[in-house]
Amino acid sequence: MKVALITGVNGQDGAYLSELLLEKGYMVHGIKRRASLINTDRIDHLYQDPHDPNVRFKLHYGDMTDSTNLIRIIQETQPDEIYNLAAMSHVKVSFDTPEYTANADGIGTLRILEALRILKLDKKTRVYQASTSELYGLVQEVPQRETTPFYPRSPYAVAKLYAYWITVNYREAYGMFACNGILFNHESPLRGETFVTRKITRGVAAIALGLQDKMYLGNLDARRDWGHAKDYVEAMWRILQQDTAEDYVIATGITTPVRDFVRMAFDELGIELAFTGKGEKEVAVVTACRNKEFVLPIGKEVVAVDAAYFRPTEVELLIGDPTKAMTKLDWQPKYDLPELVKEMVAADVELFRKESVAQFEHLIG
Ligand code: NDP
Ligand code: GDR
């Protein structure tokens, strides 16, 4: 039985990857940091009684900023594969917590790689590093591919740049099977509530159900190459099953402005919008409601821009070229953006029918 260790196991990708590896018959160990409230919702359905001798899913307390703890867990679990997904993953928040972000996202990756050398597992254990399209930052070339120069635009991206290169360096210096997946944005109903897609689908659901008046967003012009997290964790696994360790771009090859994502999400519930105004003055108002279940007054303002969500330096355009992954990994995304939006909006409508909206929802993210 293959053994995998996943850092960030209770995050969006950790949850989908755990599911995938359990289906494939792996023993899965997950590292999760201590929180004052239980935050394992995304993986609760995978829980197995640790007293069961055949248990295949185990959680360990750990933190990317604690080397001793990482060394101990890796020694105990002796993994064949490590998926390093843990990170302070919010780009805007990284401007507020730059030092911590560098420590967890940058040096954290070094801690994993060094732990493997210290434990003499560097020839046994394969490492997947969660690299990101944020590395491309200020546009140098489109579409962005494995050879496109990096130009990071946030403390998050700079930390991830260190993680990218230290992974390449350990591969070249010590012959480790260590790979970067340069993943473009991927979303799902499990996406954190403060990333723009989920913030939008939650906002649409709450507004349509009469639980929220309007939503406030930042830069509506930014364009992203959005895929489904389920497809992207499959690529992570494939990257570690190859004969040689290499880095891969994982993307759909299609880019969409944030504004169009908003339009598509409202349209799912039959609510049509018109955008007027520019920059900080831009708003979206309702022009038609096709679905009798979700009726809002025509002319109602449902989206407004709040400059608080602008970033000091922005990544305006991401569009990936997944040719290498498609050719070498035989990887293809199964979901397209309309299916993703449909699934996310439906899940949030369902969720809000079950619980009431938090008062300060629109102030976060
Ligand atoms: P999430 O934010 O959903 O999950 C991040 C996970 O990391 C959470 O489990 C979080 O725990 C954990 N974590 C954060 N800091 C620490 C720490 N110091 N020690 C231990 N665990 C920590 O991210 P995603 O699942 O979306 O992304 C997974 C990885 O892929 C991240 O590294 C992200 O930067 C990267 N990435 C994501 C992309 C995307 O579009 N989703 C695209 C490209 C890269 P907690 O719940 O306690 O906060
Ligand atoms: P990103 O994702 O920064 O690309 O990082 P996010 O969803 O936060 O932003 C995407 C774009 O939308 C714009 N935007 C807003 N963003 C947020 N969060 N909230 C808003 O209200 C809002 N309004 C407009 C942003 O300015 C941006 O241009 C994600 C994370 O998962 C990273 O960890 C990962 O590495 C990259 O994707 C690839």
| Domain range annotation of the chain | 3-183, 196-224+257-315+336-363
* pLDDT tens per residue, range 178-227: 999 999 999 999 999 999 999 999 999 999 999 999 999 999 999 999 99
Q: What is the dihedral of CA 200, 203, 208, 212, to 10 degrees?
A: -160
Q: What is the dihedral of CA 86, 101, 257, 267, to 10 degrees?
A: 50
What is the value of ipTM here, to two decimals? 0.99
162 is catalytic: no
Class level of CATH domain 196-224+257-315+336-363: alpha beta
**Substitution candidate for ligand 1 out of 89, 112, 233 with most atoms within 8 A of CB:** 89
* pLDDT beyond 80 at 176: yes
Tell whether ligand 2 has an atom less than 6 A from the beta carbon of residue 91: yes
DSSP H helical ranges for the chain? 12-23, 67-77, 91-96, 98-101, 108-118, 155-174, 196-208, 229-240, 258-268, 323-328, 337-354
CA distance 261 to 200: 8
Provide the pLDDT for residue 355.
76
CA distance 108 to 111: 5
Cα–Cα separations (whole angstroms), residue 5 to 31, 82, 162, 207, 364:
8, 5, 22, 40, 32
CA of 223 to the centre of ligand 2 (A): 10
Label residue 78 left, alpha or beta by phi (over 0 means left) and psi (-120 to 50 means alpha): left
CA of 317 to the centre of ligand 1 (A): 22
Q: Which of 163, 172, 170, 134 is nearest to 151 (CA)?
A: 134
CB 140 within 8 A of CB 191: no
Per-residue confidence band for 356, with pLDDT thresholds at 50, 70 and 90: low
Class level of CATH domain 3-183: alpha beta
Per-residue confidence band for 360, with pLDDT thresholds at 50, 70 and 90: very low
Provide the pLDDT for residue 354.
85
* pLDDT beyond 50 at 320: yes
Alpha-carbon Rg of the chain, whole angstroms?
21
CA distance 208 to 214: 10
Tell whether ligand 2 has an atom less than 6 A from the beta carbon of residue 15: no
Cα–Cα separations (whole angstroms), residue 138 to 92, 133, 151, 152:
16, 11, 6, 7
β-bridge pairing 215-217 and 3-7: unpaired
Q: What's the token pair of residue 27?
A: 């023993």
**Percent of the chain topping pLDDT 70:** 97
CA of 219 to the centre of ligand 2 (A): 9
Task: Please confirm whether the linkage preceding 143 is cis (ω < 30° from 0).
Answer: yes
CA distance 311 to 304: 17
